Structure 1
Amino acid sequence: MARIYPEGWRQMPASGRLARELDTLATLAAGLPDDHAVYHGVHWTRVEREHALFGAIDFVVLGPTGRLLLIEQKSGFLDETPQGLVKTYAKEKSHVGVAMARSAGQLRERLAAFLKGHQADVETLLYCPDYTVRQPGSAGVDPARIVDAGRREHLAAIVQSLLREGPRDRVVLDNVHRFLADQLELVPDVNAFIGQAEALYTRLAGGLAEWARRIDMEPFRLRVTGTAGSGKTQLAMAVLRDALAAGRRPLYVCYNRPLADHIALIAPSGGVVATYHQLCDRVLRAHGKVPDFSQPDAFARLEQAFRELEPGEDWRFDELIVDEGQDFRDEWRDALLRLLRPGGRAWWLEDPLQNLYGRSEAALPGWVRITSERNYRSPSDIIDTLNRALPLPHALEAASPLGGSGVEILTWKDETALVEQTKRAITRAIGLGFRRGMIATLTFRGREHSLFTPYERLGAHRLKAFTGSYDLLGNPVYSEGDFLIDSVYRFKGQAAPCVIFTEIDFDALDELTVRKLFVGATRASMKLILVTSERAARLLAQRTE
């Protein structure tokens, strides 16, 4: 099966033209071997509804030798004119051959500049699954490069035959993915599991990763207040890439260790990624000062020693990105800003609704602030449920194209029932088709107080849980299991296709409870199952009646 970029396309609902192109993508995915890669812009549509990759091109297929095939799909009826094939739209007519040649030429030029002397072999193919070309010789496209209704069942075989020939160019193969990822503006979204190598790539239409980077100011101080799923971490990753491409040295700092561990795995090399306390520890050790974590006030001492130390040029940066800013103290802010070189740029990303530690809002006088209440990650029914069930300070806007997933609630009255209902939720998730790696079970209580912390399994399901220790390289150690279980505190900033939010219990919807429910629910990108106490379920039901 061919590799498809971006992923997640099988879960996207579509109709009309988009549905036809997703059908084609499924054909290419199933019909091409795994040494082929297909890049597409079908399902991540922008605000203006344009989704072609390069002008008139819908798909780019990379073959095993480095040869590229640009596929333009024209569904429906075509006109055969003396000037060649023409596609008629509501307001204009497009000469298919001319548009394809122009797009291929533009791509060749841009690739040549990117590959710095190495020449990429670029071919084109017209796919018209609903129309049989009567006069291929006058179509304006090489007849060998046309797959019409009469040959559509052979599409994958024809594509493979066109990409089989040619010498293998290692430089092209190694760099063309990076080029196409840049052109598609693919940015990694934080996936379900710490240490998971494969990132889910998304394109947020009109989201933070696109328009926040267009802002210009001097000095550059941008505060981004965005709700869960609005694209803050995607923006951070794009800023990291921009900085490195421009020769600037970036520093990414967050509060949560699991988030820092995951970002470190998927971030491009060349910058520094750490939690605030990891950064303090690294700087102090670099100056020969080894913190003593056996002391009861070790972290307070660590912070003070970092504030008092002159870090030196080795710890100066051109770009500072603070993620999870709602969890940072004012003195941390000051200690980080002094690491910026003159003219350095600073980004502060935060979501007050994810403030689980009761910290006061950081004072950032003189900073420009932008806000976003659009959640692109969670299905619309999850956002609708949160808007109805929780006393949020403002309504959230559902921007995900997914809907109809159905928030399910299982209730319990004692600890025995809690365990059984959690096992039932896992079985339910598997029954819905979610693989083990797609499911994350989150506990409402912290790791120290959770009923599930001592558990190695739930029925037949082996649990993968943080053991509380780290290996010699500083990586978190997890138990040998198949189903991730973690606390809502540790999983903040991450996501999973299916989230089972368990151990939920409260007698009032106070501020902290609302925030914990919000954080846990918005980790789900496709399905949410809540396992709540009977009294908690009653309180939630009262608000939705």
Structure 2
Amino acid sequence: MAIVTPPLESIRPATPGQHVELEVLRQLATGLSDDFRLFHSVDWTRAQPQGDQHGELDIVVVNAAGDAAVLEVKAGAVDTQDGGLTKHYRGLAKDIAQQVQWQFGSILHRLKQEGLDVRLLHLLVLPHQRVGEQGTIRYPRERIADAEECQDLPGLILRRLGRGVPSPQQARVTAFFANRLNTVEDLSLVASQLHRTVQRMAGGLAEWVPRIHSPSGVVRVVGTAGSGKTQLALALLREAASLGQAAAYVCFNRPLADQMRDVAPAAAQVGSFHQLAWAAAGRSAGVPDFAQLGEAYAQTLAAAEPDLDLLVVDELQDFQLPWVVALLQRARPQARVLLLDDPNQQLYLDREELDIPQAVRITTWDNYRSPRQVVQAINAFRLSPRPIRACGPWHGQTPSFHRYQPSAGNLRRTTEAAVRELLSAGHAPEEIAVITWRGRESSQLLALDTLAELPLRKFTGRYDEAGQPLWTDGRLQLDSLRRTKGQAAPAVVLTEVDFDTLGELERHLLFVGMTRARMSLAVVLTEQAEQALAAQLGGA
């Protein structure tokens, strides 16, 4: 499949003509190999003394050699009277010949200005019109693709433009049409912009799920990582706060609860299930017995009056059934209940499958957060029983894998090499999260104070009087895999990955770790783990 800029999933057509352009683009993307690069809606400028010229190219196809074909797509009827081609827009006639000649001459001039000596073709695409076998002096027939030829547009491109002999020139031409200047990329700025873009793209759940009517008031969203579940939860919590309604957000992971408390409305009750259970028990001194806390809290809720207009339960896959039953008793008769679930992130395999028959169930496998290359790796390793759809705007690089040998004592050195790789790529230390496969008691790295000569920011295991976690001062964050569930960072080093067989728990752990990365991912693993992953590729 050809590589498309911007990604197909991010294109939102607003007019009938734009819908046709998208269909042409999709046909080319699926019909051409990954040797080709496709660009949609490319803005261009040509500077001239009498004033700059501006325009937009519908579709640009670049082959492996860097040769390019510019496609001008004209949907609907085209007037062929008076020996020319005319398209009417809102009652105004537009001379297609003049547009095509102007476009072709300007783009050719700009290519030569940039020292790009490549072949440039221009193709007029008429998806809804048939054209005879003979062209005219203004319109060579081989530069027109009519409705019949549009049935196999990829084949026409291969015949006219060709696949091309792979050449480094393609990268320069690609950067030219992608409007990428030859500058040092500021990944910190890119990460910030990317995060905002992903939030906009992943906001679909927050837009339409609240409109769904559930007779029971219960909606269960089974959504993969990066599908927009958190945005949906926040949207409902903010709406409840604006209406003066009582709302609560309950999850399983304490770090996720701490993070949500920072962004959720102050009026909402936010906490992990065991945090709420401990608070209900009076926060007695000493290390709590979480099993007893859960049972006692369930009994307390069973005896209490319903008190919520909105209940959001996140990380449903990690909850025990009695906890969910107890929490549902907090919902008033007309309350809304949102259950957020992702079986691929279930890290406690003793949990029973939760059956909540009265819930309206919504399922989505669209990941907007992870780099597309990371999603491809997840699917290649078959970490999910169903392929995840890569819908994010960031293509990224293939995850890098670094092998360490526990017996050789080179874990730290190998992890530092992975960190330096991300630093060299342009990531700031504060953008990198080092996530260890092991817990606090068994990890070698969590005992360190520095990594790659950078001070580490680690959770101390303590909380302040307000219940906020206390961290060491440092620039490079280091934490365990289970604690990072529900969070993300621009760059991730997943380290101390060690398993012999890729079983269900290992798949889930690897899925969670890999989907924490928004831009770049490096994995530090043992030879046995590497072989287990390679076996998945061989059996695919």
Q: State the TM-score, normalizing by the size of structure 2.
A: 0.63
- The aligned counterpart of 1:246 is 243
Q: Which SS does the other structure have where 2:334 is aligned?
A: strand
Partner Cα distance (2:220, 2:237) in 1: 16
- The aligned counterpart of 2:260 is 263
Partner Cα distance (2:206, 2:447) in 1: 40
* Amino acid in the other structure paired with 2:391: A
- The aligned counterpart of 1:338 is 329
Matches within 5 A, 1:221-240: 221-240=218-237
Shift of 1:433: 0.8
Shift of 1:309: 2.3
* Amino acid in the other structure paired with 1:500: V
Shift of 1:276: 0.6
Q: Which SS does the other structure have where 1:309 is aligned?
A: helix
Shift of 1:370: 0.9
Q: Which SS does the other structure have where 1:203 is aligned?
A: helix
Partner Cα distance (2:517, 2:422) in 1: 12
Partner Cα distance (1:49, 1:466) in 2: 48
- Structure 1, 358-367 or 484-493: larger mean CA deviation: 358-367
Partner Cα distance (2:457, 2:344) in 1: 28
Query: Is structure 2 residue 492 aligned with structure 1 residue 499?
Result: yes
Partner Cα distance (1:218, 1:398) in 2: 33
Matches within 5 A, 1:71-150: 76=55, 93=89
Shift of 1:268: 2.3
- The aligned counterpart of 2:155 is none
* Amino acid in the other structure paired with 2:298: R
Residues 446, 315 of structure 1: alpha-carbon distance in 2 compared, 3 angstrom cutoff? farther
Q: Which SS does the other structure have where 1:381 is aligned?
A: helix
* Amino acid in the other structure paired with 1:374: D
* Amino acid in the other structure paired with 2:512: V
- Structure 1, 201-210 or 460-469: larger mean CA deviation: 201-210
Residues 199, 409 of structure 1: alpha-carbon distance in 2 compared, 3 angstrom cutoff? closer
Matches within 5 A, 1:323-472: 323-358=314-349, 359-390=351-382, 392-414=384-406, 416-472=409-465
- The aligned counterpart of 2:274 is 277
Partner Cα distance (1:405, 1:315) in 2: 50
> Could you give the per-residue CA deviations for residues 52-85 of structure 1, whole angstroms, max 9, x where no partner exists?
xxxxxxxxxxxxxxxxxxxxxx9538xxxxxxxx
Q: Which SS does the other structure have where 2:353 is aligned?
A: coil
Shift of 1:538: 2.0
Query: Is structure 2 residue 458 aligned with structure 1 residue 479?
Result: no
Residues 430, 391 of structure 1: alpha-carbon distance in 2 compared, 3 angstrom cutoff? closer
Partner Cα distance (1:376, 1:524) in 2: 12
> Could you give the per-residue CA deviations for residues 224-272 of structure 1, whole angstroms, max 9, x where no partner exists?
1111111111111111122222332211000101111011001122211
Partner Cα distance (2:239, 2:11) in 1: 21
Q: Which SS does the other structure have where 1:360 is aligned?
A: coil
Partner Cα distance (2:484, 2:475) in 1: 17
- The aligned counterpart of 1:301 is 292
Partner Cα distance (1:440, 1:407) in 2: 15
**Which residue of 182, 206, 210 corresponds with 1:209?**
206
- Contact map agreement 2:464 2:470 (CA 8 A) in 1: yes
Q: Which SS does the other structure have where 1:433 is aligned?
A: coil
* Amino acid in the other structure paired with 2:385: P
- Contact map agreement 2:10 2:393 (CA 8 A) in 1: no
Residues 293, 330 of structure 1: alpha-carbon distance in 2 compared, 3 angstrom cutoff? farther
Residues 237, 46 of structure 1: alpha-carbon distance in 2 compared, 3 angstrom cutoff? farther
- Structure 1, 498-507 or 396-405: larger mean CA deviation: 396-405
Q: State the TM-score, normalizing by the size of structure 1.
A: 0.63
Query: Is structure 2 residue 515 aligned with structure 1 residue 536?
Result: no
Residues 225, 383 of structure 1: alpha-carbon distance in 2 compared, 3 angstrom cutoff? same
Shift of 1:459: 3.6
Q: Which SS does the other structure have where 1:76 is aligned?
A: strand
* Amino acid in the other structure paired with 2:228: G
Shift of 1:47: 4.2
- Contact map agreement 2:305 2:330 (CA 8 A) in 1: no
Residues 342, 541 of structure 1: alpha-carbon distance in 2 compared, 3 angstrom cutoff? same
> Could you give the per-residue CA deviations for residues 33-59 of structure 1, whole angstroms, max 9, x where no partner exists?
xxxxxxxxxx99564458xxxxxxxxx
> Could you give the per-residue CA deviations for residues 114-154 of structure 1, whole angstroms, max 9, x where no partner exists?
xxxxxxxxxxxxxxxx9xxxxxxxxxxxxxxxxxxxxxxxx
Residues 459, 379 of structure 1: alpha-carbon distance in 2 compared, 3 angstrom cutoff? closer
Shift of 1:14: 5.0
- Contact map agreement 1:226 1:371 (CA 8 A) in 2: yes
Partner Cα distance (1:470, 1:541) in 2: 42
Aligned residues: 370
Shift of 1:390: 3.0
- The aligned counterpart of 1:321 is 312
Identical-residue share of aligned pairs (%): 38
Shift of 1:543: 2.3
Which of these two proteins has the greater Rg computed from alpha carbons? Answer: 2
